[in-house]
A and B are shown apart, each in its own frame.
Chain A
Amino acid sequence: MSVVVLGVGLHPWGKWGKPFQEYGVAAARAALADAGLHWTDIQYVVGADTIRNGYPGFVAGATFAQALGWNGASIASCYAACASGAQALDIARARILAGLCDVALVVGADTTPKGFFKPVGGDRPDDRDWLRFRLLGATNPAYFALYARRRMARYGDTPADFAAVKVKNARAGARNPNARYRAEVTTEQVLTSPMVADPLRLMDICATSDGGAAVVLCSPAYARRHGGRQVTIAAVSTVTPTFPQADLDLPMIASETVPQPEHGFKTALIRAAYEEAGIGPEELSLAEVYDLSTALELDWCEDAGLCPRGEAAQLLRSGETALGGKRPVNPSGGLASFGEAIPAQALAQLCELTWQLRGTAGARQVDSARIGLAATQGLFGHGSAIIART
């Protein structure tokens, strides 16, 4: 049995500066309207937490429920870094599959500060996330840059290849009314933007954004009573790394072994989702992957098995991963066009899969889309891969 995505909704990404719950409520109302349901129909609510918005952010499920008006639904709140939305989804899915409820609402929203993400406040010398800043000044882009440099050394990728990812994703984002950045860019613009963490420049690195996303999930029986074109969740993977972890993962100061991408965490996350769904990469119509940097999208393409190791730049140049190509990657415009709104991002990816699989993605519609993959990697061993299908 697979749970059904009955409704999806987004609050547009941007830097709006409003309380996060406003974005969450807007997205929830949009998802409920899309599902043809009223808020009082919802039996279970899961909120994906935000850690930069005080107590209401730590109990996001209750914050959204209170903002929508207490309806007596059961509730959960969870945090899993960039995978928070996927984990919230998985909690709701498990509840439905267990027969404990028929219909659930999953919501994530964030309001982000300006500039680099920094550790939450206070002196905490036992916290690896605090220590990597204190001892090394190792920001998130520093890690992305280390991975990017590896691609250059190992596969011969160039900064122009990385820039071409941004050009591709900006072209898709320009067609997405929910994206924060909606202007097309040139390779030249990327390559002349300020260097942030060599070899990555400002336009190679995703921004931090405000935004909100929501999904209504239900049992197949409930979906049959409510009609509509059905998109189902074929897999949700939230596996952890296995020892020794073959990545230099955020916020680690050292790896557990010499990193090997073929045994890496992102590969394991996606492989587990393929296994649950009983499909392989050749059956995907599209993929939404976590392009925290341009170079990282190339890593993801290989981790997802869209091409052999080291050939993602070639795959990109072939046009296969662009809109209109055989298997578009980040047809939404990706993080390059959205920026990152942590607890909302995995849900926003699922919204895009849903629109694509319904055939309602407008100017960025992927031809006859049937199966989509959405993947995230957070820090501290959290990540996710979701497969949705018609």
Chain B
Amino acid sequence: MNIYDHNEMNDKKVVLESSEEIVCNNCPETVIFHLKDNNHEFSMGLSTVIECLIFAVQCGELPKLPLSWLTDVDRANYSSYSEDERNFYFDDNFPRKRE
């Protein structure tokens, strides 16, 4: 079932205008994304982006994430997605290999 108008979505393709790293001692967000479509501009924090990603994983639209990666994300984000088995597959990436 389509719950949105495809034409409208195509018209209003959202683009990332810019991003800024936050160096605020008391701000829970570390990065803010500034987004723009034809009519609006708005901002979104990194934690919202992660929430959307996890939503897509739980729906089965994206593959599960490696546990080692998700654990590090939780530490950076003060979240607990790595405690929910729907979000990850077990990997044994230690020491972390990122390159």
Please say whether chains A and B are actual partners in one complex: no
A-side interface residues toward B, CB under 8 Å? none
B-side interface residues toward A, CB under 8 Å? none
